[in-house]
C-alpha cells in the first residue's frame, strides 16, 4: 500500500505542490487550518505582558475573522486531499474549540458571535476521516492516532502565566494520553501532533516565537517514553515546525514533517 503522510497543512497552498500519484491512503498530523492571525496576536500579547503593556483585545470583529480563517482553510485542505484517496487526520492545537458543541456554545455566549462547527463541516466531505485517540486497522496495517494534548513537561519548561491552572489541566491530559498509548501497541505507524521530547522539537525564532521560548524543547516526554518502550515502525508528527527532519529512536523512524512537508512510504 502506497501511503502519503503530510505534516501540519495550516491551510497552505504548498499542499498543491505535493506529488500525489496513485496513493492508497493519506495521513495528516493535525493543524489542518491556518491560524496566522491568532498566532500573531498570541505572541504579541506575550511580548506586551513581559514589557508591562496592556494586552491587545480579542474583540468581536477580530474573533470573527480568526474563526473564518481557521474554518475556511481547514475545509479547503480536507476537500483537496480527499479527492485523491481516503484521508485520515488527527486534531492539532488549531481549531480545537471549533470541534465541540460545548466549547462553541460557551464561546458564542461569551463573545456574542456565531461560531462555525468544524466537525459538522468535516462530516459533509466524502472520504475524509477525523480520528481521535484510537487504533485503526486499515487494509491490514495497524495505525495509531494520538491527537494534540498539553504534556506536563511543556508547562513546567515554558511556565505560562496561569501556571497552576495549566499544570493541573496538563496532568489530566497527560494521564489520559498515557492510557491511550498503552492500547496502541505493535503499530506500523503512529500519527501524533507533537514530536517526542528532545527530538526534532527545539524552538527557534523562525516562526515568531518570543525570545524566552527560543532554544527550549517543546516535545512530549510521554510520546518519547512510548516510542522507547513500544518501538512502532514509524512515527509522524509536526507542531514544532522548525524541527522538520528525520531521526531514529531505537528501531523507530521519527519524522517531523513541519508545515505541509510530506513523506511517501510503501507498506
Q: Transcribe 2-63 into DSSP letters.
A: EEEEE---TT-GGGGGS---S-SEEEE-S--S--HHHHHHHHHHHHHHHTTPPPPP--HHHH
Please tell me whether the overall predicted TM-score, pTM, comes out greater than 0.85 for this model. yes
Q: Which three cell numbers stand for residue 114?
A: 456565531
Question: What angle (nearest 5°) sits at the alpha carbon of residue 51, between those of residues 49 and 52?
Answer: 65
Per-residue pLDDT for 62 more than 90? no
Q: Name the more confident of 235 and 43.
A: 235
% residues pLDDT > 70 (the chain): 100
Cell numbers 522539537: residue: 201
> Does the domain spanning 2-266 belong to CATH 3.60.21.10?
yes
Per-residue pLDDT for 257 more than 90? yes
Task: Supply the pLDDT for residue 58.
Answer: 80
Task: Supply the pLDDT for residue 246.
Answer: 98
Cα 12 to Cα 32: distance, rounded to the nearest angstrom:
9
Task: Supply the pLDDT for residue 14.
Answer: 95
Amino acid at each position: 500500500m502506497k501511503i502519503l503522510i503530510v505534516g501540519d497543512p495550516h491551510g497552505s497552498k504548498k499542499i498543491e505542490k505535493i506529488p500525489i500519484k496513485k496513493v492508497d491512503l493519506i495521513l495528516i498530523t493535525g493543524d489542518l487550518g491556518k491560524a496566522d492571525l491568532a498566532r500573531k496576536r498570541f505572541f504579541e500579547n506575550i511580548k506586551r505582558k513581559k514589557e508591562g503593556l496592556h494586552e491587545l483585545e480579542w474583540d468581536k470583529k477580530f474573533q470573527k475573522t480568526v474563526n473564518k480563517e481557521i474554518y475556511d482553510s481547514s475545509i479547503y485542505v480536507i476537500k483537496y486531499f480527499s479527492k485523491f484517496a481516503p484521508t485520515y487526520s488527527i486534531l492539532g492545537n488549531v481549531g480545537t474549540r471549533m470541534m465541540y458543541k460545548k466549547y462553541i456554545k460557551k464561546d458564542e455566549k461569551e463573545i456574542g458571535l456565531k461560531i462555525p462547527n468544524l466537525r459538522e463541516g468535516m462530516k459533509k466531505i466524502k472520504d475524509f476521516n477525523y480520528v481521535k485517540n484510537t487504533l485503526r486497522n486499515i487494509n491490514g496495517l495497524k495505525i495509531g492516532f494520538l491527537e494534540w494534548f498539553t504534556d506536563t513537561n511543556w508547562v513546567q519548561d515554558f511556565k505560562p502565566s496561569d501556571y497552576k491552572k495549566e499544570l493541573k489541566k496538563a496532568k489530566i491530559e497527560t494521564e489520559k494520553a498515557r492510557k491511550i498509548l498503552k492500547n496502541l501497541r505493535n503499530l506500523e505507524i503512529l500519527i501524533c501532533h507533537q514530536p517526542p521530547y528532545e527530538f526534532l522539537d527545539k524552538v527557534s525564532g523562525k516562526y515568531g516565537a518570543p525570545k524566552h521560548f527560543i532554544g527550549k524543547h517543546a516535545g512530549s516526554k510521554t510520546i518519547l517514553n512510548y516510542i522507547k518502550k513500544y518501538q512502532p515502525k514509524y512515527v509522524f508528527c509536526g507542531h514544532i515546525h522548525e524541527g522538520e527532519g528525520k531521526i531514529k529512536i531505537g528501531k523507530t523512524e521519527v519524522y517531523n514533517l513541519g508545515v505541509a512537508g510530506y513523506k511517501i512510504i510503501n507498506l
